[in-house]
């Protein structure tokens, strides 16, 4: 029988029959003593690095030493060694360089693995950032805080997810890391994985039960960031996991809006096929079609229109998708909107029409398109400004000539 007692108190910690010892020793590749220390770690809560096992003659057993019953061993739990800034630097360097032999020696001092350097960066954060799984495992074995945060509030799991280090992230999750612990800005590990397009990291986080809709302080969800960044497969994974497809930011921008804004056609298609609200607007009133028209994303605009997006929905200022397409000179988008029945004369709240703003900004071909579509060439603002008067005032002479050739009222232009 193998008996282990605390050196100081004589309290018995464990008593193992030969069969139990064989079971505990298990993998002799790590040494009987090391295996026994791991067993004792589960019993007493102190890492193997702080344990010393002494024979009755006070001889300290090495980790790779063999054990035979019967015998009596004394267990000593060491305090962490005094640590200087240089000691912390050596620990961080060993982790970053993945020098596991040196790391083992440092932890055997024993050195506190939770002491941090600049920005509260711990050795476990460094292992997570570098993707060094073995080093991370040694640090966890030594009692490193799995959920300790750095200066920005990031946990080691967040850091691993940010870097796309799948196996390190899995190790942390298996070790019980808080899968939803967020940074100061509210960013979770799943959110940062979605932002950077780390599909397999996102998958393992969801497998471990990460909250798929947990948003940042500004309301941005993992799906929002996947849509914003154009990460189609991450977006698909989140939707398949039941993510809310219409959950907006505090600004009102939903995933479909931001996909349209950035011109991510296939992500927009996926969202629409998943039932996303095609007309869900921001607090400013801008819809996905509005922002696609404003940015000149022709195929996204076409997709939205094919799914029945409303061409008449205007922003808070009264600007329609056709208005902003004309304003920015997006000829193909303007033509598409007209083909889908957009009102060519629908004005903003200040009375400016698509034709007037095209003339104002000198967009000759858009002006030609609107006129060919029957836009009212003399529709004036309350101030009296007409497309002709404003084109003339802004020096767009060819455009003004076109308006006159097509019969624009020159007297109204003079009146302005």
pLDDT band at 354 (very low <50, low <70, confident <90, very high): very high
CA 211, CA 189: separation in Å to the nearest integer? 10
Q: Which fold has domain 344-415?
A: 1.25.40
Instruction: Report the predicted TM-score, pTM, of the whole model to 2 decimal places.
Output: 0.91
**pLDDT value, residue 23:** 75
What strand order describes the sheet that includes 51-54? 12-16, 2-6, 71-77, 51-54
The C-alpha angle 204, 205, 209, rounded to 5 degrees, equals: 115
**pLDDT value, residue 17:** 79
Pick the CATH number of 245-343 from 1.10.10.60, 3.40.50.2300, 1.25.40.20, 3.10.129.10: 1.25.40.20
CATH architecture of structural domain 2-77: Roll (3.10)
pLDDT band at 103 (very low <50, low <70, confident <90, very high): very high
Q: 183-210, pLDDT tens digit by residue?
A: 999 999 999 999 999 999 999 999 999 9
Strand partners, 16: 2
Contact partners, residue 17, CB within 8 Å, separation at least 6: 1, 69
Element (H, E) at 156: helix 156-163
**pLDDT value, residue 26:** 63
* Higher local confidence (pLDDT), 282 or 69: 282
**pLDDT value, residue 117:** 85
**pLDDT value, residue 140:** 97
Residue 416 above 70 pLDDT?
no
Taking residues 363-368, report their average pLDDT. 98
Residue 69 above 90 pLDDT?
no
Taking residues 337-358, report their average pLDDT. 97
Question: Among positive and negative, which fits the CA dihedral 148, 150, 151, 153?
Answer: negative
Residue 21 above 80 pLDDT?
no
Q: What residue ranges of the chain are covered by domains with CATH 1.25.40.20?
A: 81-178, 245-343, 344-415
Q: What residue ranges of the chain are covered by domains with CATH 3.10.20.90?
A: 2-77
Taking residues 293-297, report their average pLDDT. 99
Q: 259-272, pLDDT tens digit by residue?
A: 999 999 999 999 99
Taking residues 83-106, report their average pLDDT. 97
pLDDT band at 413 (very low <50, low <70, confident <90, very high): low
**pLDDT value, residue 400:** 97
Do 323 and 348 meet the contact criterion of CB atoms below 8 Å apart?
Answer: yes
pLDDT band at 66 (very low <50, low <70, confident <90, very high): confident
**pLDDT value, residue 402:** 97
**pLDDT value, residue 19:** 77
**pLDDT value, residue 22:** 74
Range scoring the smallest mean pLDDT among 13-17, 150-154, 192-196, 363-367:
13-17
| Percent composition of the chain: helix, strand, coil (DSSP 3-state, to 5) | 50, 5, 45
Do 69 and 2 meet the contact criterion of CB atoms below 8 Å apart?
Answer: yes
Residue 29 above 50 pLDDT?
no
Do 258 and 220 meet the contact criterion of CB atoms below 8 Å apart?
Answer: no
pLDDT band at 219 (very low <50, low <70, confident <90, very high): very high
Residue 356 above 50 pLDDT?
yes
List the one residue out of 40, 297, 58 whose CA is nearest residue 49.
40
Residue 392 above 80 pLDDT?
yes
Looking from the CA of 329 toward its CB, the CA atoms found within 13 Å total: 7
List the one residue out of 283, 303, 308 whose CA is nearest residue 293.
303
Q: Which fold has domain 81-178?
A: 1.25.40
Mean pLDDT of the residues in the chain: 95
Do 114 and 74 meet the contact criterion of CB atoms below 8 Å apart?
Answer: no
Residue keyed to tokens 């967020």: 182
Residue 75 above 50 pLDDT?
yes
Taking residues 320-349, report their average pLDDT. 98
């Amino acid at each position: 029988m193998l008996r282990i007692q605390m050196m100081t108190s004589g309290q018995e910690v464990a008593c193992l029959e030969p069969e139990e010892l064989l079971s505990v020793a298990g993998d002799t590749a790590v040494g009987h003593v090391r295996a026994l220390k791991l067993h004792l770690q589960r019993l007493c809560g102190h890492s193997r690095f702080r344990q010393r096992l002494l024979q009755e003659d006070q001889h300290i057993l090495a980790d790779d030493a063999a054990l035979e019953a019967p015998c009596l061993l004394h267990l000593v739990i060491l305090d962490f060694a005094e640590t200087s800034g240089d000691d912390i630097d050596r620990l961080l360097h060993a982790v970053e360089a993945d020098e596991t032999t040196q790391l083992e020696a440092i932890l055997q001092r024993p050195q506190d693995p939770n002491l941090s350097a600049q920005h509260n960066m711990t050795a476990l954060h460094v292992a997570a950032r570098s993707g060094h799984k073995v080093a991370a495992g040694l640090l966890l074995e030594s009692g490193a805080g799995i959920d300790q945060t750095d200066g920005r509030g990031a946990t080691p799991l967040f850091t691993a997810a940010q870097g796309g280090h799948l196996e390190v992230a899995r190790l942390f999750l298996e070790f019980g890391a808080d899968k939803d612990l967020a940074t100061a800005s509210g960013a979770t590990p799943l959110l940062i994985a979605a932002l950077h397009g780390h599909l397999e990291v996102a998958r393992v986080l969801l497998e471990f039960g990460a909250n798929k809709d947990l948003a940042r302080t500004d309301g941005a969800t993992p799906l929002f960031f996947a849509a914003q960044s154009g990460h189609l497969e991450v977006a698909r994974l989140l939707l398949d996991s039941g993510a809310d497809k219409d959950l907006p930011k505090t600004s009102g921008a939903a995933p479909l809006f931001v996909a349209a804004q950035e011109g991510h056609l296939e992500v927009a298609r996926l969202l629409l096929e998943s039932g996303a609200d095609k007309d869900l607007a921001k607090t400013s009133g801008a819809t996905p079609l509005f922002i696609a028209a404003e940015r000149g994303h022709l195929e996204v605009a076409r997709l939205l229109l094919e799914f029945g997006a409303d061409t008449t929905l205007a922003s808070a200022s009264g600007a329609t998708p056709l208005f902003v397409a004309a304003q920015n000179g997006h000829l193909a988008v303007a033509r598409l909107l007209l083909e889908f029945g957009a009102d060519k004369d629908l004005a903003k709240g200040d009375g400016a029409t698509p034709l007037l703003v095209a003339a104002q900004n000198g967009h000759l071909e858009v002006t030609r398109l609107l006129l060919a579509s029957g836009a009212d060439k003399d529709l004036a603002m309350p101030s009296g400004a007409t497309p002709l008067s404003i084109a003339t005032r802004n020096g767009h002479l060819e455009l003004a000539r076109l308006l006159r050739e097509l019969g624009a009222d020159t007297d109204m232009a003079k009146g302005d």
